[in-house]
Amino acid sequence: MSKQLLHSFRSHVVVAALSDRAFAVLTSEQDATSGARVYELLPPAVSAHAAPAKKRSKVNGGGAEKDSAADDNVVKEGEAQETKSDLSADTKEEIQAVCSTEIGSHIWLAVSREDKTLSLYCVADVKFQEDVMQLQPVAIYNMPKRARCLVFHTLPSSTGADCHMIIAGDLSGDAFAYPVPSYDAIDLTAAAAAKSSSRRLLLGHTASMLTGMQVAPTNNGRQFILTADRDEKVRVSCFPETHIVHGYLLGHTAFVSAMDAVSGDGVRPLCLTGSGDGTVRLWDYQTCKEVGMVPLVLQPPGGDSSNNDDLNVNDEGLREAALCKDDNNFDENEDESVEFDGDCGDDDFDEKCDGLIAVPLAVAMSSDAEYVVVAREGISSIDIHPIPDPDPAKNTSGLSSMFLSQLVSLHKKQTLQCPSQPLDVCLLSDGSVLVLAREPEYILHFRCIGSEFEDMTSTSPICSVLASVATSRSISMPITALEYNEDGTLKLQKKVDNKELDGDEAEGGESNAGNSGLHWNDKERKNTHRLANGRRRKRNCKGGGTGEEEVDP
C-alpha cells in the first residue's frame, strides 16, 4: 500500500520522508525565494514501542474501546509482520507517514514509523541558517498498529480553549485521535513519552485497513472525516460525531490506494480517489455522488512511459470496457464513455488491453479545485488534469451543462516527465506541485505559468536545500511507495480465485499470477466483457433492427 511520504502546509512548510529519515523544509511565508531552513526530525532515542497491545473491537464513534480476542482474525491478513515483537534496526525506523501544520506561531510536525510510534515535533523560532538543525520529538505515542495516514485538526471550543489533535489511521482499520500538547507545557530539551491511554478511538472499518484519511469542513458549518479503505470504498462520517455515517463513495472495483479532498468558501466539496482498478474518480462528498473520472492507464511495456495510452471506461467503472484512444485525437465534445461495437471480438479486446494496470499511488487536488495531479506505479511521469468549471458561463470545454452537472470530463491532461518513478505528490497553496522522487533529485518542483506547468526544480530553494542535505548523507530512496508480497503481488490486493469463472486457463490468456486480479487480461474481466457485449447486441436487435443475431447473456 502507498505511504504518506510528502506533506505540505500552505507554501512555507514541507515535510518529506527520505528512506528512514524525515526532513522539514521551512521557507518565508512572505517570500519563498528568500531562503530555506532544513530540520531533521530524529527518531526516538529509545524506541517507545512496548509489547503488542490487545486487539480492540472497532466501535463507530464515541471513543469506546473493548478488548476482544475474537478481533485477532480482523487484522491478521496483511498484518502478519506486526506480530513480530522484535523489529530489525534497519526497518523499525522506516517512515510510514508524515504530516505538518501551524498552530499559532508554532510549526508542528508528525512522523509515524514502522515500530508503531507516532512522534510530534515543534518549531517555535525559525532562523534561516545554512546548517541543518536536528529536532528531538516533544511527544511520543505508542500506537496499536502502524499508521499510514496522518491528519492534524483543531476542534473549536466555545470556551476559547481549542482542542488540537493529530489523527492517525492504522492498518487495522481504526482512526485514533492523539492530543497535541500545549507549547507552554512541553519540554523542548527532551522528548516526553506520552501514554497511549490518552488516545481516543474515533471510528473503525471492520475487517479492513485504512488507506487514506481527510478531515473536510463544509460551507454549511458541518465537518466530515473521510476514510478510505482496502474494500473499494470511502466512508463519509460526521465529525466529531463519528458514529453518524453521512454516506459512502462507492464505484471502485478494487482497493482505494490514494485519496485527497478539498473544501472551503466558494469551493465545491470534492474528494479525489485512486484505486487498484486503475481509475481515478472525483466525488462530491456531500451528495456522495461521482462527478468525474480519469480513465484507466496501463503500464507501458519495458517501463517506457512516453507512449502510454489511456483506456477509456464508462461511468459504470470496469463493468464494460472501451476502446483505447489516442489522447492527441481526443474530441472534448465527445462523451468519454466509448463502447465496443458488435464487431469487436474478444481477440481485439485482449490485444488492446494486454498489460498491467498502472495503479495510482498518489493523487492530489488543488485547493481551489481547478486541477488534479496523479502519479502512477510503473510510470516515470505525473499527469495533471484540469477540472472543468460546472458554471456554464465559465465553461470553455464545449461540454453541455446537463453533462457537467452529472459527470465532468477529466480526459484532458498535461504530462510532466520525471527522472524516476514518483513516490508521492503534494500541492502548495500557490498552486505549484511537489514530487518526491529518487536520488539524485529527491524532490521536484513544477509551477503553473500561464496555462502550462513548467519544471522549476533547479531554481527552487526547497529542492536545492533538500537535495544537498540528502546527497551529503548518501540517502538511497526506495523504488516504489507501494508494498509487495514475495510473489510480486500488491499487499493491498485481495486474493481472487478466477477458476470458478472459467475452468480452462488456456481461454483466459495469461494466468493471473498469485490471483492478484491486477492483470487486465484475466478471466473475470473477459467474462464480464462477453456478457456486456451479449446484452448490447440483444438491445440492438430489439430496438434498432440491426439484423444481428440475439445472444443470450
> Would the pLDDT of 52 be above 60?
no
Q: CA-to-CA distance for 466 and 441, rounded, in angstroms?
A: 9
Mean pLDDT of 304-333: 38
Q: Are 96 and 4 in contact (CB under 8 A)?
A: yes
Whole-model pTM above 0.85? no
- What letter would DSSP give residue 513? G
pLDDT range class, residue 45, cuts 50, 70, 90: confident
pLDDT of amino acid 128: 61
Predicted local distance difference test score (pLDDT) of residue 245: 96
* Cα separation, 86 vs 149, whole angstroms: 24
- On the question of pLDDT at 316 being above 50, the answer is no
Q: Strand, coil or helix: what is 549?
A: coil
Task: Read off the amino acid at residue 341.
Answer: D
Residue 509 binned pLDDT confidence (cut-offs 50, 70, 90): very low
Between CA 260 and CA 372 the distance in angstroms is 10
Exposure of 174 in the CB half-sphere (CA atoms within 13 A): 26
Q: pLDDT band for position 463 (50/70/90)?
A: very high
Q: How confident is the model at residue 302 (pLDDT cuts 50, 70, 90)?
A: low
Inter-residue contact 82 to 146 (CB < 8 Å): yes
Least confident span in 41-45, 113-117, 130-134, 352-356: 352-356
Work out the percent of the chain whose per-residue pLDDT is above 90.
Answer: 48
Superfamily, domain 6-73+88-308+358-472:
YVTN repeat-like/Quinoprotein amine dehydrogenase (2.130.10.10)
If residue 444 lies in a helix (H) or strand (E), which one and from where to where? strand 443-449
Mean pLDDT of the chain: 76
Burial class from Cβ neighbours inside 10 Å (0-12, 13-18, 19+) for residue 382 reads buried
Tell me which residue of 119, 78, 112 sits closest to 95, measured CA to CA.
112
Residue 413 and residue 373: Cα distance in Å, rounded?
A: 9
Compute the distance between CA of residue 257 and CA of residue 254 in angstroms, rounded to an integer.
9
Q: What is the pLDDT of residues 167-201, one digit of tens each?
A: 999 999 999 999 999 877 665 544 455 555 589 99
> Which cell is 153 given?
485538526
Residue 446: pLDDT band with limits 50, 70, 90: very high
Taking alpha carbons only, the member of 32, 48, 35, 37 closest to residue 15 is 37
The per-residue pLDDT for 339 is: 32
| Mean of pLDDT values over 478-507 | 69
Residue 131 has what pLDDT? 76
Looking at residue 496, its pLDDT comes to: 56
> Which range, 24-33, 468-477, 535-544, is most confident?
468-477
User: Looking at the predicted structure, is the pLDDT value of residue 84 above 50?
Assistant: no
Peptide bond into 240 cis (omega under 30): yes
Distances (CA, A) of 476 to 245, 379, 479: 43, 20, 9
Instruction: Please write the tens of the pLDDT for every residue from 242-301.
Output: 999 999 999 999 999 999 999 777 788 999 999 999 999 999 999 999 999 998 888 887
pLDDT digits (tens, 9 = 90+) for 359-378: 999 999 999 999 999 999 99
Of the candidate ranges 14-23, 286-295, 480-489, the one whose mean pLDDT is the lowest? 480-489
pLDDT, residue 536, reads 83
> What band does 105 get if pLDDT is binned at 50, 70 and 90?
confident
Q: What is the SS3 string spanning 46-71?
A: CCCCCCCCCCEECCCCCECCEECHHH
Name the more confident of 334 and 494. Answer: 494
User: What would the pLDDT profile of 210-245 be if each residue is shown by its tens digit?
Assistant: 999 999 987 777 899 999 999 999 999 999 999 999
**Least reliable range by pLDDT among 31-45, 304-318, 398-412:** 304-318
**Closest by Cα among 302, 428, 299, 315 to 356:** 299
Q: Which candidate, 153, 146, 199, places its Cα nearest to that of 176?
A: 199
* Per-residue three-class SS string for 306-366: CCCCEEEECCCCCCCEEEEECHHHCCCCCCCCCCCCCCCCHHHHHHHCCCEECCEEEEEEC
Q: Are 118 and 140 in contact (CB under 8 A)?
A: yes
Looking at residue 35, its pLDDT comes to: 76
Give the DSSP H/E element, type plus range, for residue 463: helix 461-472
Return the number of other C-beta atoms located less than 10 Å from residue 267's C-beta.
14
Q: Coil, helix or strand for 174?
A: strand
Rounded Cα gap, residues 294 and 297, in angstroms = 9
Contact 152, 106 (CB under 8 A): no
Distance separating alpha carbons of residues 445 and 463, to the nearest angstrom: 7
Task: Give which of 101, 69, 53 is closest to 201, Cα–Cα.
Answer: 53
pLDDT of 123 higher than 50: yes
Q: Name which residue leads in pLDDT, 216 or 494.
A: 216
Over its C-alpha atoms, the chain yields an Rg (Å, rounded) of 24
Top-confidence residue, 125 or 13: 13
DSSP calls for 99-167: EEEEETTEEEEEEEETTSEEEEEEE------SSPEEE--SEEEE-SS-EEEEEEEEE--TTS--EEEEE
What would the mean pLDDT of 81-104 be, rounded to a whole number? Answer: 73
| Cβ contact 382:422 at 8 Å | yes
| Domain boundaries of the chain, sorted by first residue | 6-73+88-308+358-472
* pLDDT for residue 427: 96
What span, in angstroms and rounded, lies between the C-alpha atoms of 521 and 212? 28
Which has the minimum average pLDDT: 156-160, 161-165, 189-193, 211-215? 189-193
The pLDDT, as a whole number, for residue 271 is 96
| 346 burial via Cβ count (<10 Å: 0-12, 13-18, 19+) | middle
pLDDT of residue 93: 85
Highest-pLDDT range among 3-7, 214-218, 394-398? 3-7
